[in-house]
Every structure is written in structure tokens, then in C-alpha cells.
Amino acid sequence: MKRTIAMGLGALSLSVTTLVGVAPAQAADSEINADCPGEQLCLYQYKNYDGSVSRHARNAKVKNLSSYNFNNRTSSIKNNTYRNFRLYSGASFSGASYTSRHDSSDSTLGNNNFDNKATSLRYLT
Ligand SMILES: [Ca+2]
């Protein structure tokens, strides 16, 4: 998998890998920490970490994000934990999946064919 250090906010989306379902890049810590403090996984309603936010602990297992009013609403993500997380298009960890690597962020899930598709999530050991 290709990894790219972020040189700017716009650079990430231009250097993504075509490998579907895997976060392509690791952003600077300052960017990750901006509005996702501590050891949290943060889901955002819109791309570029905008709109409503749904925050989850590093040991989170969510069978249906509707419990957080966030079903099929995630468009960008920050993973400020030391764990990799997997998001699923179906409830109870089923369907297509997207992996969010530890200490990384993804400004848009649109180029991962996962925009507004996340319904469940859990951390990976
Ligand atoms: Ca992406």
C-alpha cells in the first residue's frame, strides 16, 4: 500500500491509492488532533472534517451507528487512536468495509467508495 506524507490539506486526495477500503495516507499529528482530541475515532458528516461529529473511544464496537444518529452519514474520518478501525456498510460488522489506520485521517471517503456508507464499526486488535 502506498503511503504519502501530507504536504497540505489538498495534497492527500490527489495521491490516493486505488486500493478500495484502505486509508491511503497519514496526516500530521496537529491536523489529526485539531478537533479530535485524545484517544478517539471521529466521524464527520462532511468531507474535510466538517459538519456533525461522532466520537468513539478506542475500544468502540458499534453495531449500528443509528444509535448515534450517524448511520450512512460519515464522509471523512480521523483516527487519533493507536488502533486500526474497520467500518462496515452493513449492521453488526457486515458488508463492504473500510479500514482506518491508527493515527491517521482521511479527508474524504468519496474516493474509497465509502461516502455515507458506514453503518457499523469496531477496532481491530
Ligand atoms: Ca479517502
- Phi/psi at 112 (5° precision): -110, 10
- Predicted local distance difference test score (pLDDT) of residue 28: 52
Q: Ligand 1 centroid to 87 CA: how many Å?
A: 13
Domain 18-123: CATH superfamily is Crystallins (2.60.20.10)
Q: Ligand 1 centroid to 109 CA: how many Å?
A: 4
Q: What is the DSSP letter of 68?
A: G
Residues with CB under 5 A from ligand 1 (ion): 106, 108, 111-112
- Predicted local distance difference test score (pLDDT) of residue 13: 43
Q: What angle do CA 7, 8, 9 make, to 5 degrees?
A: 140
3-45 pLDDT tens trace: 444 444 444 444 343 444 555 455 555 555 668 888 999 999 9
pTM metric for this prediction: 0.74
40-68 pLDDT tens trace: 999 999 999 999 999 999 999 999 999 99
Whole-number Cα distances in Å, 58 to 5, 7, 79, 111: 24, 27, 9, 25
Could you count the other beta carbons within 10 Å of the beta carbon of residue 57? 12
